[in-house]
């Protein structure tokens, strides 16, 4: 079966890499981009880390921790995220790249994963946000979703407010991440895919409540987790999950493969259809953080091997065909 990129290109869609000049990033990892459409304007957020992720896909030259190895700058064992926002033209050419300036709200990190990871860019109630996970505020790396309000201009992007979002239940859970923002329902997220769970954060009270939990779909033999935005689609909603398969290498070391799956719900969150599980470009580690309708097409962003960032444009008809028929 075709992967999504091949299907997209065969139907006349396009794919573009999202590249920030090496003099800005030192040539290290760009990945897990997000996309937001506002009228004719397309904005993207691109995650940058100061490492390069080495892959031993054939099982050769395994590190003591497995076939994946973070190659960090000397004397720096952290995983430090910096976010960049840029504009895209209609043919997906990237320009006007601005770093997200977080200096006004940053505090000294107390964990090695530093910064807002896998941010989804959006606008709720006329305010721009990045929403993703942060793990550097506790000594054990406990992850919590954050809502980072941004001031976006043509010359700079600055973080002006930062909320740490509590989970609605199980306040002691270790890591909450990859909640999917519902683009037309302010401060609401798809927290989980099966059963579907809808939660709402209140920026005034700083509380999160559980709004809805659907029925478990026992025809889905895996765990569809968070990924893209959740966007309006055919009178209901569409989201793109990631699916993780964890296993051990032949040497008994940790390994994993990331795949994806669409879910289509009606307006009351009854499941209409899940696509087959698929990959974008046959990589082991692929991860989506963004999806947006755009002039009869859909824009979907994804990271490849934690080293590269891409965006595709696929027509609604082609996307529907892929979801239904794969």
Query: 38: which strand partners?
Result: 41
Q: In angstroms, rounded to a whole number, what is the distance separating the alpha carbons of residues 153 and 92?
A: 20
**Could you tell me if 57 and 46 are in contact, meaning their C-beta atoms sit under 8 angstroms apart?**
no
Q: How many CB atoms are located within 10 Å of the residue 77 CB?
A: 9
Domain chopping of the chain, boundaries: 4-325
> pLDDT value at position 51?
82
- For the chain, the 3-state helix, strand and coil shares in percent, each to the nearest 5, are 5, 55, 40
> pLDDT value at position 60?
55
> pLDDT value at position 47?
98
Tokens representing 282 are 């046959």
Burial of residue 311 (CB within 10 Å: 0-12, 13-18, 19+) is: buried
Tokens representing 120 are 């989804």
> pLDDT value at position 223?
87
Q: In angstroms, rounded to a whole number, what is the distance separating the alpha carbons of residues 231 and 213?
A: 19
> pLDDT value at position 62?
56
Q: In angstroms, rounded to a whole number, what is the distance separating the alpha carbons of residues 186 and 126?
A: 10
Query: 15: which strand partners?
Result: 312
Tokens representing 30 are 């760009």
Average pLDDT across each block of 10 residues of the chain; the chain has 326 residues. List them in order.
95 97 90 97 97 67 61 81 97 97 96 96 98 96 97 98 95 93 98 96 97 92 92 97 81 78 97 96 94 98 95 98 92
User: What pTM was estimated for this model as a whole?
Assistant: 0.94
Going by the DSSP 8-state scheme, the letter that residue 10 receives in this structure is H
> pLDDT value at position 61?
55
318 membership: H or E segment, kind and range: helix 316-325
Secondary structure (H, E, C), 77-141: CCEEEEEEEEEECCCCCEEEEEEEECCCCCCCCCCCEECCEEEEEEEECCEEEEEEEECCCCCCC
**How far lies 218's CA from each of 77, 106, 195, 287, 324, in Å?**
42, 43, 9, 24, 19
Q: In angstroms, rounded to a whole number, what is the distance separating the alpha carbons of residues 44 and 322?
A: 24
The CATH number corresponding to 4-325 among 2.60.260.20, 2.115.10.20, 1.10.1060.10, 3.40.50.970 equals 2.115.10.20
- The residue with tokens 């028929």 is 325
Helices (H) and strands (E) in the chain, counts: 3, 23
């Amino acid at each position: 079966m075709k992967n999504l990129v091949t299907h997209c290109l065969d139907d006349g869609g396009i794919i573009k890499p999202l590249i920030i000049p090496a003099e800005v990033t030192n040539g290290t990892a760009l990945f897990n981009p997000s996309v937001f459409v506002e009228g004719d304007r397309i904005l993207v957020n691109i995650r940058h880390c100061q490492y390069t992720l080495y892959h031993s896909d054939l099982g050769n030259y395994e590190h003591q921790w497995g076939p994946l190895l973070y190659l960090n700058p000397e004397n720096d064992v952290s995983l430090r995220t910096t976010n960049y926002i840029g504009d895209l033209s209609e043919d997906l050419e990237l320009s006007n790249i601005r770093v997200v300036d977080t200096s006004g709200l940053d505090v000294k990190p107390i964990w090695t994963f530093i910064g807002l990871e896998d941010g989804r860019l959006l606008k709720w109630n006329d305010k721009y946000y990045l929403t993703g996970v942060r793990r550097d505020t506790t000594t054990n790396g406990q992850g919590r979703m954050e809502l980072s309000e941004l001031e976006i201009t043509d010359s700079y992007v600055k973080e002006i407010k930062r909320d740490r979002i509590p989970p609605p239940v199980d306040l002691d859970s270790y890591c909450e991440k990859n909640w999917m923002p519902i683009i037309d329902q302010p401060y609401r997220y798809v927290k989980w895919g099966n059963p579907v769970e809808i939660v709402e954060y209140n920026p005034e009270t700083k509380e999160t409540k559980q709004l809805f939990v659907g029925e478990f779909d026992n025809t889905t033999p895996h765990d569809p987790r968070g990924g893209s935005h959740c966007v309006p689609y055919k009178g209901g909603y569409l989201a793109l999950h990631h699916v993780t398969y964890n296993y051990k290498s032949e040497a008994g070391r940790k390994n994993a493969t990331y795949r994806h799956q669409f879910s289509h719900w009606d307006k009351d969150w009854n499941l209409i259809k899940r696509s087959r599980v698929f990959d974008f470009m046959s990589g082991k580690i692929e991860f989506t953080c963004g999806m947006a309708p755009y002039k009869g097409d859909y824009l979907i962003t994804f990271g490849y091997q934690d080293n590269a960032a891409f965006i595709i444009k696929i027509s609604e008809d082609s996307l529907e065909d892929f979801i239904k028929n794969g």
